[in-house]
Amino acid sequence: MRFKANNLTWNIDFVDEDKKLMNSDNGMYFGLTEYQPQRISIRTGLSKEMTRETVIHELVHCFLFSFGVCGFTSLNEEQVCNFVGSHLDKIYEITEKFMKGVIMLTEQEIRYFISDDAGSQRKRKSREAQRYYEGEHDILNYRMFYYNSDGELVEDTTRSNIKISHPFFTELVDQQVQYMLSGDDSFVRSDVEGLQSKLDEYFDEDFKAELTDLLTGTITKGFDYLFAYQNEHDRLAFQYADSLGVIEVRAKDTDDNCNYVIYWYIDRIAKNNKVIKRIQVWDDEKTTYYVQNDEGGIDLDDSVDINPRPHVIYERDNSLYYKPFGFIPFFRLDNNKKQISNLKAIKGIIDDYDIMSCGLSNNLADFDHPLHVVRGFEGDNLDELSQNLKTKKTIGVDSEGGVEVHTVDIPYQARLTKMEQDEKNIYRFGMGFNSAQIGDGNITNIVIKSRYALLDLKCNKLEIKLKQFLKKIVKVVIDEINKKNNSAYEVEDVWFDFKREVMTNASDNAQIYKTEAETRQIEINTILGLHGVIDDKNVIKSICDVLELDYEEVKNNIPDEFEDDPLKVLGDE
């Protein structure tokens, strides 16, 4: 935490009890004030009361130095009273801020950053894309108007206005995510002895679930986040954070010149539809938790025991100790360089498809009954005419009267053609796999793979970004593994392997396996035919190579009686 004393900028922070700075040959320090770097260090592990007393003690040293009083061997009573009277309030103010751990972002700053971020074009586009992923298309707000006899534009509430969203975007997003992570094996790999098992502890099914949410959000909104935390097993874990509630605050935009991340989310809807919002402010050492009731004040969250809360808290000898990550533990994955959603390329086509489809439904609903043109109706009430048509199916007319039945031709074929073209373009420009695509009936593996071509191209682009993202995650994981195991693994020891699974033709696969088996049999027969030209050892070794067997293991399993002539194990020629 930064503060000023006589225009000198000081830092006061907790320092781990194990640090050499807090220990000497003469014993340990509860607190330490260093004049040259203008830094105050407070030992972790002290009780709350002892911590507060130590902070006040060190701040007195700081103020004595800052106001030029340091160095005097003694002060008389009047001088002490003057110093205390001039600076005690400020010392108490700094102490209370430090004990509360007040982050230097004020309530006004937090409110401003949240409001400014919500109004940004990037977040507006992200919210729109999220709506479309959830099936809430613009067609749901579609209204129809007409000009009445007075020339006024009024809404038409008599005609059918069917509103149906067609969630192509949802399918394309989920399709890409599942295809990216379709492989059964771990995608975080290492050939270094002992490292793979340790990596598997971090990159398990729980991580894959969070990564699934991350990819879904990234493709949908253009970017999204994971954040790191220490789980109950005292191990780094990662959790998804919705980018709509994450705000990266740059140092140049804050009064204390520090970087922060603000993360907010709606906790619940209370009585009278009051929205309870939870707000977290993260820096490179701790997290401060706030709560906001509707659009009211932003207050410290009393439900959090330790607030602000250091990144890592652990207990030793009935005392709590704190440890920061040393960085803001939020990791962002971008969909592309401009952080643009995949919706942008196809939104207009999806909207057109919605309009064409709903328009056809409206036409069918409005003109599902024929029109009757009646001449010479003997009654005097049109309601009676309509009722007779519905119930008796008869109408009374005079001698010169008659009834003509007319139907309206709906241009459904043109609409269907346009919808088919829209659907084709949605999958083409959305670069997806169209499972409804009809071929000529000859669905071979080559044909299937060709239909995955666009999806593969799209996934290849995202895979580059994903590997860059995972390298940042792996770095902090490797650092923790090295600290816990006193090892020296490096990020370069880890590589990423995404094996995507494609549906295949079972008949084609059977034919491929049969051809491969026949090829191996021919190779083995050729090798056996060379017996006499090459020795037994090389014959066995060559057969092992063809069958992808471990030669040393096979050799060790050959019975002793066949040691001189190992080919006899294969039986008579």
Q: Which residues contact 507 (CB under 8 A, 6 or more apart)?
A: none
Residue 240's pLDDT is what?
96
Residue 469's pLDDT is what?
96
Q: What is the pLDDT of residues 264-304, one digit of tens each?
A: 999 888 787 888 999 999 998 889 899 998 888 888 888 88
Given pLDDT bands bounded at 50, 70 and 90, which one contains residue 374? Answer: low
Q: What is the mean pLDDT of residues 354-362?
A: 91
Return the number of other C-beta atoms located less than 10 Å from residue 34's C-beta: 14
Is the alpha carbon torsion for 231, 235, 239, 241 positive or negative? positive
- Asked if 467 contacts 497 with a C-beta cutoff of 8 angstroms, the reply is no
Q: What is the mean pLDDT of residues 100-122?
A: 82
Of 210-214, 301-305, 435-439, the least confident: 435-439
Q: Any idea what the Cα angle at residue 473 is, between residues 468 and 474, rounded to 5°?
A: 90
**E strands within 201-251?**
223-230, 236-241, 246-249
Of 384-388, 398-402, 429-433, 560-564, the least confident: 560-564
Residue 126's pLDDT is what?
96
* HEC assignment per residue over 293-311: ECCCCEEECCCCCCCCEEC
Residue 202: what are its φ and ψ, rounded to 5°? Answer: -90, -45
Q: Using a CB cutoff of 8 Å and minimum separation of 24, what contacts does 337-340 make?
A: 338/222, 339/122, 339/222, 339/223, 340/125, 340/222
Q: What is the pLDDT of residues 180-207, one digit of tens each?
A: 998 878 899 999 889 999 999 999 999 9
Q: Which residues contact 539 (CB under 8 A, 6 or more apart)?
A: 527, 528, 530, 531, 567
H or E element that contains 525: helix 506-529
- Distance (Å, rounded) from C-alpha 123 to C-alpha 332? 15
Task: Provide the β-strand partners of residue 373.
Answer: 404
- Distance (Å, rounded) from C-alpha 356 to C-alpha 418? 8
Residue 496's pLDDT is what?
94
Higher pLDDT, 188 or 534: 188
Q: What is the pLDDT of residues 471-507, one digit of tens each?
A: 999 999 999 999 999 999 999 999 999 988 775 556 6
